[in-house]
Structure 1
């Protein structure tokens, strides 16, 4: 068979002005084109304590921009989330509001050994939308209110810290009849914000940027440190997005966000 020969004529040389125009158009198109995500971008499902809601959303956005991976966030009380994990909920990473449950997750086979670490150190605040309500510990000793909101101390470490504070001040028995419990610290905040309770113990992170009302930052010697630990769950050992999220959470970019929301970190404390 004879070879197929295609004849062609050499194109006339392109003028410099036309070449410059085409080059500018190509560069402009590249600049306007949306960024190409990494081909290996993945997704991880993260269970988070409710107090960390706002900080976590900002961290997830930064994580996606930096790595191309997506973090799907689910919020709740630490105790409730742990129960879901124990029942097989499809989470990859667990960010608790205490150190106890991540350690327990490892001990019971739900967490990867050696993966737990403290990502934030929480603080509690006695807060009221009423600018004249909170005047420090004396507000609690006076008891001149009908309802004091706290998170459920059985499932929420911030609620446990609130009880410890009341006990340390010697007012728990006098006030226990006035306590109303939220399922988690987010619901507790809503109770106070909507004035279903005159005041309540909330997370400092929930008040960042807010100027209204009155508050008392509870001294940390009145309650056990709220060490918030994270753990990589066993079901996610092969999930690169989950591992990347844990690494990102340990890094300086996430740490800056965490501290901006009023939390301490091991780096800021040490």
Structure 2
């Protein structure tokens, strides 16, 4: 008998049981959606009484873990192709998939005034390190490579790229000063309609494929009322307001 070994997961209990009949739902969440999900989860518990336990990571890695039997019941991906693939392979509750957010890519530096509003800092090429997420596992990393290609800068900056396993690690490289700037999810540096710190260029959407982020109920969650309730909650006005406050579109 072959035993499957899973990569370590950071399981974060976000909510406490609020009612005797409340259920618990295990959710895999793309790293870029960490802060909005934590905010949504708090309201979700208050309004439904359900408990939510989330793991945050790269969409590509979650796909592999789900295929290997990881106990997730709901998947909030950073793209629309991975949930669609799981759907086509019979690993989801048919009809449950929908786009919960459209992501925005940003070129960001922790230093105020370092990144200009037009992204000219990329063309000037005066930096030593440019952080991006792994384009094979993270849709925001793929979008970053598309931007560089469209601007004709791929060869120019290739030797300066530092690659994070996911968008959280790409952000951390910049926030800790290990890279002067990097491509991150706008939601990581944006809150309540404004930049939280540093300086940024909000990348025009025409420079990369749309970052449509889909949610879906996985096979293990098809009979869990908390899983069904969570997807309905994500479609509602409270979740929409939080999502938009972090710079996403709906």
Normalised by the size of structure 2, how large is the TM-score? 0.89
- Matched ranges for 1:93-112 at <5 A: 93-112=74-93
Q: Distance in 2 between matches of 1:63 and 1:213?
A: 31
Q: Distance in 2 between matches of 1:70 and 1:129?
A: 35
Does 2:121 correspond to 1:143? no
Unmatched 5+ stretches in structure 1: 1-35, 266-270
Does 2:208 correspond to 1:227? no
Q: C-alpha offsets along residues 151-207 of structure 1, whole Å, 9 cap, x if unaligned?
A: 000000000010000011011111111111111111111000001001000111011
Q: CA-atom RMSD, angstroms?
A: 1.3
Match of 2:10 in 1: none
Distance 1:91 1:147, change over 3 A: same
- Higher strand share goes to which structure? 2
Does 2:37 correspond to 1:56? yes
Normalised by the size of structure 1, how large is the TM-score? 0.83
Q: Distance in 1 between matches of 2:188 and 2:18?
A: 33
Match of 2:14 in 1: none
Q: Distance in 2 between matches of 1:151 and 1:226?
A: 14
Q: Distance in 1 between matches of 2:26 and 2:196?
A: 34
3-state SS of paired residue (1:91)? coil
Does 2:193 correspond to 1:212? no
Match of 2:222 in 1: 237
Q: Distance in 2 between matches of 1:220 and 1:58?
A: 26
- Matched ranges for 1:37-76 at <5 A: 37-76=18-57
- The answer as to whether partners of 2:18 and 2:51 remain within 8 angstroms in 1 is no
Q: Distance in 1 between matches of 2:58 and 2:18?
A: 34
Match of 2:241 in 1: 256
- The answer as to whether partners of 2:18 and 2:46 remain within 8 angstroms in 1 is no
The runs of 4+ residues in structure 1 deviating greater than 4 Å are: none
> Which residue of the other structure, out of 139, 145, 149, is the alignment partner of 1:157?
139
Q: C-alpha offsets along residues 45-71 of structure 1, whole Å, 9 cap, x if unaligned?
A: 000000000100111111100000011
> Which residue of the other structure, out of 64, 68, 91, is the alignment partner of 2:72?
91
Q: Distance in 2 between matches of 1:253 and 1:131?
A: 32
Unmatched 5+ stretches in structure 2: 1-16
> How far does residue 112 in structure 1 lie from its aligned partner after superposition?
1.4
Q: Distance in 1 between matches of 2:74 and 2:197?
A: 35
